[in-house]
Structure 1
Amino acid sequence: MTSTTHITQALLVELLTEELPPKALQALGAAFAQGIRNTLDKQHLLEPDCTIDLFATPRRLALRLGAVRMQAPRQTYTEKLMPAKIGLDSKGELTAALAKKLAGKGLSQLTAADLIHESDGKQDYLYAKGVADGALLADGLQEALDYAIANLPIPKVMHYQLADGITSVKFVRPAHGLIALWGDTVIPVSILGLPAGRETRGHRFMANRPITIKTPHTYEQQLDIEGRVIASFTVRKDSIATQLHAHAKRLGATLGDDPAVAALLDEVTALVEHPTVYVGEFDEQFLAVPQECLILTMRLNQKYFPLFDPDTGKLTHRFLIVSNMQVADPSHIILGNQRVVRPRLADAQFFFNTDRKAPLASRVAALAGIVYHNKLGSQLERVERVRQIARYLAERLGVQTQNADRAALLAKADLGTNMVAEFPELQGIMGAYYAAADGEAQDVVHALSEQYRIRLDAAVNDATLTAALLFIAERAETLIGIWGIGLVPTGERDPYGLRRAALGLISAFEQLQAGGYLPIEPTLRLTLSDLLAFTTGTFGAHPIAADTAASVQHFVYERYRHQLAGDYERNVIDAVLSLEPPLQQVVARIQACADFAQYPEAASLAAANKRIANLLKKADDHIGQINHEQLKEPAERALAQTVIKLKPQAEAQLAQGDFAASLATMAQARGAVDTFFADIMVMADDPAVRANRLALLADLHNVMNQVADISRLAQ
């Protein structure tokens, strides 16, 4: 007779529900499947090579495991019970407390003689050791279902009553059926008041009838043929994508390259069980409205895929509908969707035309009535701060302040428009359209449209300079203001996007440098520390914590550290960022430092530098100036002469932004440094000699660490 531990078959589990939240469907499906799979695996009910197939539709979560045992193999166990003095009485028999514990662990058959005594170093403990029968699939699957349901990432729980009219349960949506099929056998489990069976239901409209699943391997085929349901999320998504691209190609159009297309594809896949794509269109008069408005309302409200001209990228008057119905004559579906979208587009047209009746600049005063933050004042107060910062930036870069100031003045004016009130996602975009209609300068218009970007990814030029200045000013104001009132990012929480703002600042400095507005040297027109200090002073009546600028600066460099980690060695990054050099110099310094680390002299100089740093930390006395007349030993005189010779050359190269040359110059000091430490006792008994040698090392340390803290290269 074959042991049940050697019998394996496929297992199918399906939970049939009301329509699940589309944006959460993929996460729910993955969590449901993995929760069951992992729990069964821990109970040794799965073969090592067991495959898993995930299924998720708007009305069901399911999985199929390829090789599942009816019973797990026998398992050895070790159970730590309790101290022997508590578990055994004076006669060596089980106490009531131990007997109860054994019963709770399913080990009530054990006697005192079966238990093992072991010391944990303090007292004797009783252990139960042995070999037990493996878990049964029915028990293991019940535990797995309970775990999976309890740990689903449910966005919002519903309470509903079961058919008995008394019992209530909690789940994301009401559940109506449960399949637990091992081969052709139903496993007797239950969840949410539903006993397991083998019956599911087909498409709500095209095949709303019971379907009896024969085996786990017939699940997809039966649902497809009998139920008009494509069970696999991936297969359904691929089908939709294929249909979308085929229709777009036939119409000589494209879906565009906006990342929102991929997100919408995921969402509509979670809305349909049998997708069919149809073509709709709207009146071409609506194309006079900014296309972002039309695109947003079609994607956000109607889940349509707008189509674009492949040559110009402009929106066309056609769109694609992903329907949950496949019918011979889809005209009523198409016309119905066209009727639905028309008032949406008409609303957008009305908002746009109404907003244009008032110049954008006339809306600035109304920002006084919109709170930015109760500790930082209104949006108008914020605008005035950003204006000051934008003008400061322009002055430091030696360019006209007028357009930077104008862009900052108008940046938030569209918050009071009808269009932005309806579609907050269009902030900045609509401001740019209205500014263009008002005849504002082109670089001002561009600045308004670009202000909400995450980062700058192209070298700044004359046409984009105003946008860059507004971009920097807004992020500096946000970082100082929000940080200054104590709303510091913690863990994963960063509700005001300070990490994003810091990375944006970094990118802006990089692109200003790439465009020639922030040359690495000889003149530092703008530094992060200067910018943050100035920004702090713009808050006036709104007190900011005294250490805010310094804290924000450290925060920005820490974000830079994370950003650079994938491209450079950690010790090289640390060597440069420990000095917090001007942002526009960071990459050049790191590249120079990475090259220097390959020099044969690098390891020795780094080790010496680390030793010097430790000696200087231990020095009790103030480090004074070098008295060259007191340098008596040849090694210390040689080192002093080396510093005198190399220091001006290294400093000149640093001033020219030639960091690699500056480091190469200091590499020439290796011989003198090695000889010094071989021959000289720095911490001499004579205080004057000791102080003079420390002063010499301090001078060497300063010039060696101008580009980076070389000691951090020591391994």
Structure 2
Amino acid sequence: MTAQNLLVELFVEELPPKALRKLGDAFGGQLLEQLKAQGLAGADAMLTTFASPRRLAAHVTAVLARAADKPQSQKLMPVAVGLDAAGQPTPALLKRLAALGADASAVPLLQRRPDGKAEALFHDSIAPGVSLVDGLQKALLDAIAKLPIPKVMGYQLESGCELPGWTTVSFVRPAHGLVALHGSEVVPVQALGLNAGNTTQGHRFEASQSPVVLPDADSYADVLARDGAVIAGFDARKGAIVQQLAAAAAQVGGGARAIEDDALLDEVTALVERPNVLVCSFEPEFLEVPQECLILTMKANQKYFPLLDAAGKLTNKFLVVSNISPADASAVIGGNERVVRPRLADAKFFFDQDRKRTLASRVDSLGKVVYHNKLGTQGERVERVRSIARAIAQQLGGDALAQAADTAATLAKTDLVTDMVGEFPELQGTMGRYYALHDGLPADVADAIEDHYKPRFAGDSLPRNPVGIAVALADKLETLAGMFGIGNLPTGDKDPFALRRHALGVARMLVESRLALSASALTRMAFDAFPPGLVQDAAAALDDFMVERLKGSLRDGGYSAAEVDAAIHAQQLGDWSTIPSRLAAVRAFAALPEAPALAAANKRIANILKKAGEVDAHVSEVLLREPAEQALFAAMNAVVPQADAQFQAGDYTASLQTLAALRAPVDAFFDGVMVNADEPDLRLNRQGLLKSLHAAMNRVADLSRLAS
């Protein structure tokens, strides 16, 4: 059967830009899946998707005009039901055959095959392969039905359509055209009240032909670009924008570069059909406003690309991705400059007004802002964060650090009641820092006000100084304790209060900043900051939650589950600052030839001690009767002190490698000594020897977790 390439396009009104790429991939992916399922496309069929503001399209290679016929076998009924004692067909069998389009003449051709404990009759036949028309019709309707549409709209079909009366259609946007080409032949399918053809529409203003006639499936992108002035491919259009942004920045000179923002780039790609990047500018006096404000308003409200200089500072120029390419672009440039000016003026007004009041004067206003209906106001929350921050800072740096952390915690949320953050919530923390510096506060306090939200996302930087660390820990711990205390826990993929992110942030700060703080003591401290009766004590559940987030973070960092479990199980909820060193030691130990045997021995020892119950680690040398236990005791006396000294010095890798010398005496012990001897004194002494060995070998990590 002849295989040719297939092109399907839906031409619609402007699609939602933030969903465009996902819609294009889903449309093409579902078409291909259905074509393969029906035997119209093979496993090696290649898919190319297209997505522009007004079209979704897919190109599939090697699609058959008709799928191959398939043998099929259909179970009819048990032999005892279908045939009588004389072997003649029963009425039930004849009725079933009639339903399949066969008659009594098919009875001799039926197959008898085992079916459980009895035999059944099977009707074997050849199922004709589906035609491309029928198969594509099903695939197209299925692809449309399964699109991840953010919001469906209903519209009525245009008068004059072939469907009688008024028909309401539901889709993401009104559809106006359908193309289905198998090679150069139109596939007569229908969807959304449209009949497939070989014409589409190009750019609204710059197409050289209307409609654009597509001669065949393979020429889609080229003809649409030539006659329709449209770059149909999402990635091709995105690449063109990236090149033009770089060229425009180079034209400005001085090392200028467009700000990097993948989400903005994707959104702009979804807004234009043929991009044309233009250089615009605004008045230099607006640069007195913090650049974060100007960048945010240009990106979020106008979809512009601000230009930074070689030092990373904002310039008074920005780049616009236009959807038209006039010979004289001055009107387009002037229009965009007029549009952005009021936005920048608003930002300057907010900044100037906010600085007329100090952050300290805004503290009382937080008492009028509801944080959570079960946990009180932001003002009450700030007091809890202050309490936790002071206690953490006291442990990290004494009175001076505690005082600085208290000041930062008191003011950290005050920018929430400023005009700038009211207009741009994304700037919370950032504006607090600017206003704190304007108020004359120390730089470390101002930095902490901005940094207490960090890390905001995976891979984000940590607070830059100890004040910020203390306040960031306190802020996240208060949120975690409060939400756990009222039972507001994450479920499945739902985590409205970002508790997983907060817990991961705490874990990262403890581990990466090497803070000598007990994780369990921190959660206890957080719950103690709440007034009695306001929340339930869920410290144990929060501890487990924190450990799981820590494990996940370390596994994401490249450590195996066994390595992570070994390092964390030994440390539990104590000081997490040593975990990186423990992990490095575990990885180095696991590479030693002695590691598997010692890990298995540790697992065996743990099981013995667990069954023995309470065991004293004391060993009486007089009761060591067997040569193997005497040798192990001697080896431990020679090796363990050195390993302990290395452990105390923080050289965990060397400590574990020193202990690896115990492999031979440990193996000999288990080969030649019965631990659970009949004599109570011998049994307890041998258990004590193992208890001492277990304690020595598992100070760095629980080596039994490495056993396979």
Same fold (TM over 0.5): yes
Query: Which AA in structure 1 matches 2:361?
Result: S
1:563 aligns with 2:563: no
Do the aligned partners of 2:454 and 2:462 also contact (CA within 8 Å) in 1? no
Identity across matched positions, percent: 48
**Which residue of structure 2 aligns with residue 495 of structure 1?**
496
In structure 1, distance between residues paired with 2:175 and 2:461: 55
Correspondent of 2:666 among 670, 673, 679: 673
Q: How far did residue 201 of structure 1 move?
A: 1.3
Q: 1:387-417, CA deviations, whole angstroms, 9 ceiling, x for partnerless residues?
A: 1121111111134211111111111111111
Do the aligned partners of 1:223 and 1:231 also contact (CA within 8 Å) in 2? yes
Do the aligned partners of 2:9 and 2:179 also contact (CA within 8 Å) in 1? yes
Q: How far did residue 114 of structure 1 move?
A: 4.6
Do the aligned partners of 1:88 and 1:95 also contact (CA within 8 Å) in 2? no
In structure 2, distance between residues paired with 1:417 and 1:69: 64
**Which residue of structure 1 aligns with residue 268 of structure 2?**
268
Secondary structure of 2:219's aligned partner: helix
**Which residue of structure 2 aligns with residue 151 of structure 1?**
146
1:167 aligns with 2:158: no
**Closer, same or farther: CA 238–672 of 1 in aligned 2, 3 Å:** closer
Secondary structure of 1:317's aligned partner: strand
Deviates more, 1:285-294 or 1:646-655: 646-655
Do the aligned partners of 2:201 and 2:210 also contact (CA within 8 Å) in 1? yes
Correspondent of 1:27 among 22, 36, 45: 22
In structure 1, distance between residues paired with 2:109 and 2:62: 36
Secondary structure of 1:668's aligned partner: helix
In structure 2, distance between residues paired with 1:56 and 1:182: 20
**Which residue of structure 2 aligns with residue 348 of structure 1?**
347
**Closer, same or farther: CA 102–578 of 1 in aligned 2, 3 Å:** farther
**Which residue of structure 1 aligns with residue 162 of structure 2?**
none
**Which residue of structure 2 aligns with residue 325 of structure 1?**
324
- 1:287-686 aligned at under 5 Å gives the runs 287-310=287-310, 312-399=311-398, 400=400, 401-454=402-455, 464-513=465-514, 518=515, 525-541=516-532, 543-546=534-537, 548-565=538-555, 566-579=557-570, 580=572, 582-619=575-612, 622-624=614-616, 626=618, 628=620, 629-644=622-637, 646-686=639-679
Give the number of equivalent residue pairs. Answer: 693
Query: Which AA in structure 2 matches 1:294?
Result: L
| Stretches of structure 1 lacking an aligned partner (at least 5 in a row) | 519-524
Q: How far did residue 457 of structure 1 move?
A: 7.6
In structure 2, distance between residues paired with 1:191 and 1:109: 42
Do the aligned partners of 1:10 and 1:182 also contact (CA within 8 Å) in 2? yes
In structure 2, distance between residues paired with 1:343 and 1:642: 80
Q: How far did residue 270 of structure 1 move?
A: 0.6
Q: How far did residue 277 of structure 1 move?
A: 1.7
In structure 1, distance between residues paired with 2:460 and 2:180: 56
Q: How far did residue 298 of structure 1 move?
A: 0.9
**Closer, same or farther: CA 638–10 of 1 in aligned 2, 3 Å:** closer
Q: 1:500-532, CA deviations, whole angstroms, 9 ceiling, x for partnerless residues?
A: 22332232223422xxxx4xxxxxx42212222
**Closer, same or farther: CA 457–9 of 1 in aligned 2, 3 Å:** closer
In structure 1, distance between residues paired with 2:591 and 2:89: 72
Using structure 2 for the length normalisation, give the TM-score. Answer: 0.91
Do the aligned partners of 1:253 and 1:308 also contact (CA within 8 Å) in 2? no
**Closer, same or farther: CA 84–638 of 1 in aligned 2, 3 Å:** same
Using structure 1 for the length normalisation, give the TM-score. Answer: 0.90
**Closer, same or farther: CA 29–305 of 1 in aligned 2, 3 Å:** same
**Closer, same or farther: CA 630–172 of 1 in aligned 2, 3 Å:** same
Aligned CA RMSD, in angstroms, stands at 2.8
Query: Which AA in structure 2 matches 1:492?
Result: D
Q: How far did residue 74 of structure 1 move?
A: 2.1
Secondary structure of 2:71's aligned partner: strand
**Closer, same or farther: CA 262–457 of 1 in aligned 2, 3 Å:** closer
1:712 aligns with 2:705: yes
Q: How far did residue 641 of structure 1 move?
A: 4.6
Q: How far did residue 441 of structure 1 move?
A: 0.8
Q: How far did residue 652 of structure 1 move?
A: 3.5
Q: 1:86-125, CA deviations, whole angstroms, 9 ceiling, x for partnerless residues?
A: 777895346389739955xx98999455544444425555
In structure 1, distance between residues paired with 2:412 and 2:307: 30
In structure 1, distance between residues paired with 2:355 and 2:690: 69
Do the aligned partners of 1:81 and 1:101 also contact (CA within 8 Å) in 2? no
Secondary structure of 2:316's aligned partner: strand
Do the aligned partners of 2:8 and 2:181 also contact (CA within 8 Å) in 1? yes
In structure 1, distance between residues paired with 2:137 and 2:128: 18
**Closer, same or farther: CA 482–100 of 1 in aligned 2, 3 Å:** farther
Q: 1:563-587, CA deviations, whole angstroms, 9 ceiling, x for partnerless residues?
A: 3335334322221122225321111
Query: Which AA in structure 2 matches 1:35?
Result: Q
Query: Which AA in structure 2 matches 1:555?
Result: F
Correspondent of 2:688 among 671, 686, 695: 695
1:95 aligns with 2:96: no
Q: How far did residue 642 of structure 1 move?
A: 4.3
**Which residue of structure 2 aligns with residue 132 of structure 1?**
127
Deviates more, 1:592-601 or 1:361-370: 592-601
Q: How far did residue 612 of structure 1 move?
A: 1.2
Query: Which AA in structure 1 matches 2:559?
Result: Y
Do the aligned partners of 1:255 and 1:306 also contact (CA within 8 Å) in 2? no
Query: Which AA in structure 2 matches 1:220?
Result: A
| Stretches of structure 2 lacking an aligned partner (at least 5 in a row) | 160-164
Deviates more, 1:404-413 or 1:374-383: 374-383
1:37 aligns with 2:38: no
